[in-house]
Structure 1
Amino acid sequence: MIEEIKEGYVKVEREHGIATIEFYHPQRNSLPGQILDALAKDIHSEGLNPDTKVIVLRSAGEKVFCSGASFDELASITDEAQGAKFFNGFAQVINAMRTAPQLIVARVQGKCVGGGVGIAAAADYAIAAEGADIKLSELAVGIGPFVVGPAVERKIGVSAFSQLAIDASMWRPADWARRKGLFAELHADAAGMDDSITRLTTTLSQSSPEAMREMKKIFWAGTEHWDALLRERAKISGRLILSDYSKKAIARFKEKQS
């Protein structure tokens, strides 16, 4: 199944109990609202599918896993309600990943920025390749990693999360992310990464679904309040993105991209 989106897509492929959800956007796999909505819907749907034993979340292309929020969409936000709705799209994806009973394996083939770091953190097991450097760039545009913060902090701890959030312009190398626990594995190239993903997901697809469901409940214990928490965090970003500082910063970023 492929859901075509303006200048992008989200598609789901299923084989031998493994559901692979892939997203793509030509602007470095950025995430406009439509892609966020489709991702959340497809993750939720696979969570309800009794034939799906494990989920792989990946993006298309080679050098960028996800560049975070769409700057075009950020620039078009005109009021707090619209802003909260957009940032709630990230909340919906993270919460869909959190509540899906299946284990989710993320394939991180390239750089992660902002919301992309949040998606990698919300996966139960992230396998990356060299070059998958990370950055939480939100402060640079006048907001903060409010929505993805709980997922990132849960995975790598308060200290490492605060380092990323405070120095919003500094890339941390993929090995830093591995050492902090964001990535479970880091491979020298994409071939090694994909071999490991195939090995792990094949094993998981043949493992006890009930045991994996119970494991996932334990892994995510204490996050039951995230539905409300992430909605409230989305409101903070939705308010801050309207500031003059944010509008000017976004305009500068868009100029660099053009």
Structure 2
Amino acid sequence: MTEKPLVSYERRPVRPDTDAPLVAYLILDDPERRNALSDTLLDQLTESLVHAADDPDVRVIVLTSSHERVFSSGGNLDAFADTQPIITKYAGLKRFPELFRTLTSISKPVVCAANGDVLAGALGIALACDLVIAKRSARLGCPEINVGAFPFMISALIFRATGRLVANELMMTGRLLSATEAAEAGLVNRVVSDDEFDSAVQSWVAEIAGKSPLLLGLGKKALAATRDLPLDAALDYLQAQLALAFTTEDLSEGVRAFKEKRAPVWRNT
């Protein structure tokens, strides 16, 4: 008997139009375990991301959850205390950095639609996405310290998203932030009331999908490449990327469409 996938993959048009761009919805779908980040779920999520990245019809990728109140509860606690050899556990830990690197290396925008609590390792997943939109009722945080663990793997992502003192408080106290508090700390882009969440996600995704896929991809690559570079090196890299953008048809089309007061027709070249 084939086991039910823990990550559902759905392609949806951004609008009802038959020729509208497509969005890939990757839905964490293990509600009985509150979408705990098991090895199987992490493997399926990474595979689904690669599949969406390679799909030429997909403009935007959305990560969300089938659970009504939880995006993901984070790492599988049972695995923390099992009796597997340390070397086996260490080898398994590569799934988290592999997933984070996949999220940042994909040329397409990735949106985390946090329709529930985003906890522990799942906070790292959210912060590795390009944009985060959250339900007002959602909570975010890393409570690992409460069970004698520490959020080692996601600390680098937290420090890149918020200030040192906020990051330390999150990791050292295990306190959960409301979605509004998380937005004030720079961990969330937008907070939406629960009853308006789905329509807000669709509207936001449609707006992003209407941009040039080529320029979004070049821009995302540039952001990832220069994030940790010294200023001089970053400016040299960005100058080269701007020069590359000038050679694209999409940049010329975007300017023409703006002057002609019409919607651009992206050629992705």
Normalised-by-shorter TM-score class: 0.7 to 0.9
Q: Which runs of 5+ in 1 are unaligned?
A: 226-258
Residue 119 of structure 1: aligned partner: 125
Is structure 2 residue 102 aligned with structure 1 residue 96?
Answer: yes
Q: Which residue of 2 aligns with 1:22?
A: 27
Tell me which of the two structures has the higher relative contact order, counting C-alpha pairs closer than 8 angstroms and 6 or more residues apart.
1
1:210 paired residue number: 214
Mapped to 2, the partners of 1:39 and 1:6 lie a distance apart of 16
Match in the other structure for 1:174: 179
Contact 1:107-1:126 within 8 A present in 2 as well: yes
Identity %: 25
Aligned residues: 220
Deviation (angstroms), 1:5: 8.3
Alpha carbons of 1:33 and 1:224: their partners in 2 closer, same or farther (altered >3 Å)?
A: farther
Aligned CA distance change for structure 1 residues 224 and 20 (closer, same or farther; 3 Å): farther
Assess if the C-alpha contact under 8 Å between 1:5 and 1:34 holds in 2: no
Task: Note if contact 2:60-2:205 (Cα within 8 Å) is conserved in structure 1.
Answer: yes
Question: What does the per-residue CA deviation read over 1:21-71, in whole Å, with 9 as the maximum and x for residues that have no partner?
Answer: 111221111111000011011112212222221100111111111100112
Q: CA 1:19–1:167 in 2, change beyond 3 Å: closer, same or farther?
A: same
Where 1:50 maps in the other structure, the secondary structure is coil
- In our comparison, the structure showing a higher alpha carbon Rg is 2
Tell me the SS of whatever aligns to 1:76: coil
In the other structure, the counterpart of 1:11 is: 8
What is the SS of the residue equivalent to 2:6?
strand
Change (3 A) 1:136 1:215: same
The Cα offsets for residues 67-114 of structure 1, whole Å up to 9 and x where unpaired, read as: 001122323252222222332222222111111110101111111210
Give 1:199-238 correspondences, 5 Å limit: 199-222=203-226
Which of 181, 193, 198 aligns to 2:202? It is 198
Instruction: Measure how far apart 1:143 and its partner are.
Output: 2.9
CA drift of 1:201 comes to 1.1
Q: Given the alignment of the two structures, is residue 110 of structure 1 paired with residue 107 of structure 2, yes or no?
A: no
Alignment of 1:30-179 (within 5 A): 30-168=36-174, 170-179=175-184
**Distance in 1 (alpha carbons) for counterparts of 2:50 and 2:135:** 27
Whether contact under 8 Å (2:29, 2:65) holds in the other structure is yes
Q: Which stretch shifts more, 202-211 or 97-106?
A: 202-211
Asked if structure 2 preserves the Cα contact closer than 8 Å seen for 1:122 and 1:152, the reply is no
AA at the equivalent of 1:72 = D
CA distance, structure 1, for counterparts of residue 10 and residue 197 of structure 2: 19
The answer to whether the Cα contact below 8 Å between 1:77 and 1:83 also exists between their aligned partners in 2 is no
Q: Which 10-residue stretch deviates more, 31-40 or 129-138?
A: 129-138
Question: Post-superposition, which runs of at least 4 consecutive aligned residues in structure 1 deviate over 4 A?
Answer: 4-8, 222-225
Q: Is the 8 A contact 2:28 2:71 kept in 1?
A: no
Whether the 8 Å CA contact 1:114–1:145 is kept in 2: the answer is yes
Measured in 1, the distance between the counterparts of 2:95 and 2:12 equals 28
> Taking structure 2 as the reference length, what is the TM-score of the superposition?
0.75
Instruction: Answer whether contact 2:9 2:26 (CA < 8 A) is retained.
Output: yes
